[in-house]
Structure 1
Amino acid sequence: MSRDRCVDFLRAWAIVLVVLGHWLITALVREPDGRITAPELLATVPWTQWLTLAFQIMPLFFLAGGHAAGGSWARARAAGDTAAGWLGRRALRLLLPTGVYSALVLLAVGICSAVGVDPDTLALVGWAMAMQFWFLPVYLLLSALTPPLYAAHRRWGLLVPPVMGAVALVVDVLVLTVHAPYLGLLDYVLVWGVAYQLGFCWRDGLLTRSRLLPLVMASSGAVAFAALVALGPFPVSLILVTGQTPSNTDPPSAAMLAWVVAQVGLCLLVAPAVRRLLERERVWRLVRPVGAVSMTLYLWHMLPVLAVAAAFYLTGLAPEPVLGSAAWWGLRLPWLLLLGAVLTGVVAALRPLDRGLGALYARTGPDAAPDAGPRRAWPRRAWPRRAWPLWLGLALAVAALGRLAERGFAPDGRFPVLPALGLALGTALVTLNRWTAGRRSEQTEKARVADRV
């Protein structure tokens, strides 16, 4: 069995745990005046912060992303593709579904704002629908940096992740000591980039030559995390908790870096057993459909929460035991099952839209198959001279997604005009540039065929 099957499992597993984790910690309360509020479970019941050790699974998503991107870029480069051509395809796979999702949510926000929905309620809903967006600008940036990161990997191999980690630690120290919050933005790329870079190493077999290395990574990362939490300034929570300073995720901290190393090491230790399990076709048939709709699950998984809130909390039908009580925890299972049923319906309803986006993606170029590499050798100079729309589009999209992740789709109950315009323009530029590149490639190929004839 190819290693790709294990990578696909990691992506699916990470998405499922992200969805379940968000649902599990979501608490809703109907106030006497009829408003719905969402108290923060991790802050109200502090012991629940330990649960984040099980549900903070994003290191594995970046690990799998690096593994897949390294292979995809290596194939594209071997076929003569350019960095801009490869990046255009990768970016479009994220931006098209994200753009459609954002457009529909923003349309709903605009309508609700026009009819006079309570601004606080609208802000809460807008935040809930954008809470998962933090991942997208980070992943887009790492995708854009893949060519130089992979070149560094090819030259220095296992030396690159420790160097990135060391720089991340320096940045974290500066953030804590001189209070430079904007400097901390670098750690989003550096800390998560360590997992991404380790994905390159995993693909090329550098991490699995000896079983000792994964064991050392898992044990040393776990010990470092425990020491940083017990003796250092860092909390145990691996998810942002309001008012908690410093945070392990905003920006990613030294403790998060230790957790990345520990989780990657543990993943490498269990990977052989996971591969043997995935060789069974019955198991693989359960995993593959989840991977096929992973982006849909990631983007839309908070919509069922809003639907259930409207159906049961606004109407007063939902039981509301004390937050964190035994009765409250007892209701978590039916809560998760109900949300899962609603999300299944949402995914089914969105299937035609997903197919339409797939068709649009395919029309943006002849070599647009995901991670398949170009179908023919592209002219090496087809993109670099005219790639500025791609880079401008990516910059606008990253800035807009970061702003939406920070403040939501309805900050203070208002329509986010600038982020909405930035995301729309950025997605349009990347799409247009990808389409024109595909057309140029087709014309170049036709000219070559005519010359040969």
Structure 2
Amino acid sequence: MRELVRRIDAATPPDRDRAVDALRALAILGVVLGHWLVTALIADTGTVRATSPLQHMPELIPVSWLFQTLAVFFLVGGQVAATSYASARARGTTYGQWLGARTLRLFRPVAAVLVAWTVIAGMLLASGVGTETVHALLKLVLSPLWFLLVFAALTAVTPLVSRLHPLWPLAVVLHVDLIRFGLGGPAWLGWINVAAGWLVPYCLGATWARGSLQSRATGWVLLLVGATATIGLVLWAGYPASMVGVPGSRISNLDPPTLAAVAFGLAQCGAARLLLGPLRRVLRRPAAWAAVALVNLSAMTIFLWHQTAMMAVTAIGLLAGEALPGLHTVPRDSGWVFARLVWLPVFAVALLVCWAAFRKYEEGRPRSEKGRIVRENRPTRTSVMRRA
């Protein structure tokens, strides 16, 4: 382990901003922990269905404020994509080559998930498992993929939006919500916000890549204005307090994104800017940086397989012959919360197994080139850091 830490630290270019990688890692881990905490699979009457503790215990809504970290991911994504595209142009790389490389790294591990779950779903149906159960499981696996589609679309238009001011997509979100909720407009208008809402932090990231967003004062302004707007929208405009969807709720802040979710994202972006300094100091330690680097190298695998890991533990738990607290029981009291916290390390072990099985689809597979075997994209962990 010490040797691995030393190699990763030595392979990292001196000018690499380690704090950017740390923000991406925190965003991914926030989504994973959030899903594990607010998703419950209930086994009863021969079927498995999904529910949420937020539906039964509204006092847990602050959990969604901590672990709904998508805005930070889009902020970092915009910064990295804009920087990468500028570097690619300087090297003479065409737009198609640049986009093809980024898209391949994004969707190669997605193909592995889709193939694996096509086989799993077929086996479940063939063994007599009900369609309701299979549908519930597939929804948990496939629903997070919307995020990747949006991220891929924004990456594709990076040359067009890299100089777009974040206030323009924010204005679109404001007007869409005004028409939807204030004037009784059609609900389908909300889907415009899927692009416009996440374009706000993405454009902030591109602005960061151009050299703006550097001062702590900017971070404080984003944090305070975003937090104040979010509180006002929740208290006086009728937006739900939860920053994730809650079954049975009339309005979801994420499906599609609302003005409250975008305002909350601005606050998160401000907090992320304020964290850069402390993160840079912490990540001077080789062990801390190695942990962040390893998470980033497997970010897609972690994101794509974390729900599968939770479901695998839940399925194995059924072999006990009775409903296990925090795993199969209805999340309606604090006992469920404490039991679920105990299960989190078990989910992490299951995710580690998934990582070991499928990480090669994220890192790239070997191919023959002029009689030699070479690695596509990311040959080794050490060369990844050097090339990045």
Measure, in 2, the Cα distance between the counterparts of 1:225 and 1:79.
43
2:9 matched residue in structure 1: none
> Would the aligned equivalents of 1:11 and 1:60 in 2 still touch at CA under 8 Å?
yes
Relative distance call for 1:269 and 1:124 in structure 2 (3 A) is same
Measure, in 2, the Cα distance between the counterparts of 1:2 and 1:22.
34
Measure, in 1, the Cα distance between the counterparts of 2:276 and 2:369.
33
Does residue 329 of structure 1 match 2:337? Answer: yes
Query: How much does 1:367 deviate?
Result: 12
Does residue 297 of structure 1 match 2:302? Answer: yes
Three-state SS of the structure 2 residue aligned to 1:331 is helix
> Would the aligned equivalents of 1:98 and 1:299 in 2 still touch at CA under 8 Å?
yes
> Would the aligned equivalents of 1:362 and 1:369 in 2 still touch at CA under 8 Å?
no
Three-state SS of the structure 2 residue aligned to 1:310 is helix
Measure, in 2, the Cα distance between the counterparts of 1:87 and 1:353.
18
> Would the aligned equivalents of 1:221 and 1:262 in 2 still touch at CA under 8 Å?
yes
> Would the aligned equivalents of 1:89 and 1:368 in 2 still touch at CA under 8 Å?
no
Does 265-274 or 108-117 show the bigger shift?
108-117
Query: How much does 1:361 deviate?
Result: 12
Which of 193, 196, 217 is matched with 1:190 structurally?
Answer: 196
TM value normalised by structure 2: 0.86
Relative distance call for 1:178 and 1:362 in structure 2 (3 A) is farther
Does residue 15 of structure 1 match 2:28? Answer: yes
Measure, in 2, the Cα distance between the counterparts of 1:182 and 1:201.
30
Measure, in 1, the Cα distance between the counterparts of 2:368 and 2:195.
27
Query: How much does 1:333 deviate?
Result: 2.2
Does residue 28 of structure 1 match 2:41? Answer: yes
Q: Following superposition of structure 1 onto structure 2, how do residues 351-430 of structure 1 map, counting pairs within 5 Å?
A: 351-355=359-363, 357-359=364-366, 369=377
User: What is the aligned-residue identity percentage?
Assistant: 36
Measure, in 2, the Cα distance between the counterparts of 1:171 and 1:60.
23
1:219 matched residue in structure 2: 224
Which letter maps to 2:303? Y
Aligned CA RMSD, in angstroms, stands at 2.5
> Would the aligned equivalents of 1:52 and 1:237 in 2 still touch at CA under 8 Å?
yes
Query: How much does 1:354 deviate?
Result: 4.2
Q: Following superposition of structure 1 onto structure 2, how do residues 168-187 of structure 1 map, counting pairs within 5 Å?
A: 168-176=173-181, 177-187=183-193
Q: Following superposition of structure 1 onto structure 2, how do residues 49-448 of structure 1 map, counting pairs within 5 Å?
A: 49-150=61-162, 152-153=163-164, 160-176=165-181, 177-208=183-214, 210-320=215-325, 323-355=331-363, 357-359=364-366, 369=377
Query: How much does 1:23 deviate?
Result: 0.7
Query: How much does 1:64 deviate?
Result: 0.7
Measure, in 2, the Cα distance between the counterparts of 1:67 and 1:302.
28
Which letter maps to 1:292? L
Measure, in 1, the Cα distance between the counterparts of 2:118 and 2:236.
45
Query: How much does 1:75 deviate?
Result: 1.0
Relative distance call for 1:172 and 1:219 in structure 2 (3 A) is same
Measure, in 2, the Cα distance between the counterparts of 1:3 and 1:187.
33
Query: How much does 1:284 deviate?
Result: 0.6
Measure, in 2, the Cα distance between the counterparts of 1:171 and 1:83.
32
1:96-137 Cα offsets, whole Å, 9 max, x none, are 110121111112212322343211111111111113112011
Relative distance call for 1:242 and 1:329 in structure 2 (3 A) is closer
Measure, in 2, the Cα distance between the counterparts of 1:316 and 1:38.
20
Three-state SS of the structure 2 residue aligned to 1:38 is strand
2:56 matched residue in structure 1: 44
Measure, in 2, the Cα distance between the counterparts of 1:361 and 1:41.
51
Does 82-91 or 13-22 show the bigger shift?
82-91
Gaps of 5+ in 2: 1-13, 379-383
Gaps of 5+ in 1: 154-159, 376-453
Relative distance call for 1:228 and 1:306 in structure 2 (3 A) is same
Measure, in 2, the Cα distance between the counterparts of 1:180 and 1:66.
31
Q: Which has the larger radius of gyration?
A: 1
Measure, in 2, the Cα distance between the counterparts of 1:346 and 1:87.
28
Three-state SS of the structure 2 residue aligned to 1:86 is helix
Which letter maps to 1:17? G
> Would the aligned equivalents of 1:92 and 1:361 in 2 still touch at CA under 8 Å?
no
> Would the aligned equivalents of 2:23 and 2:73 in 1 still touch at CA under 8 Å?
yes
Measure, in 1, the Cα distance between the counterparts of 2:369 and 2:376.
5
Which letter maps to 2:135? A
TM value normalised by structure 1: 0.74
Q: In the comparison of the two structures, how many residue pairs are matched?
A: 361
Three-state SS of the structure 2 residue aligned to 1:29 is strand
> Would the aligned equivalents of 1:172 and 1:184 in 2 still touch at CA under 8 Å?
yes
Query: How much does 1:275 deviate?
Result: 0.8
1:364-416 Cα offsets, whole Å, 9 max, x none, are xx99747x9xx9xxxxxxxxxxxxxxxxxxxxxxxxxxxxxxxxxxxxxxxxx
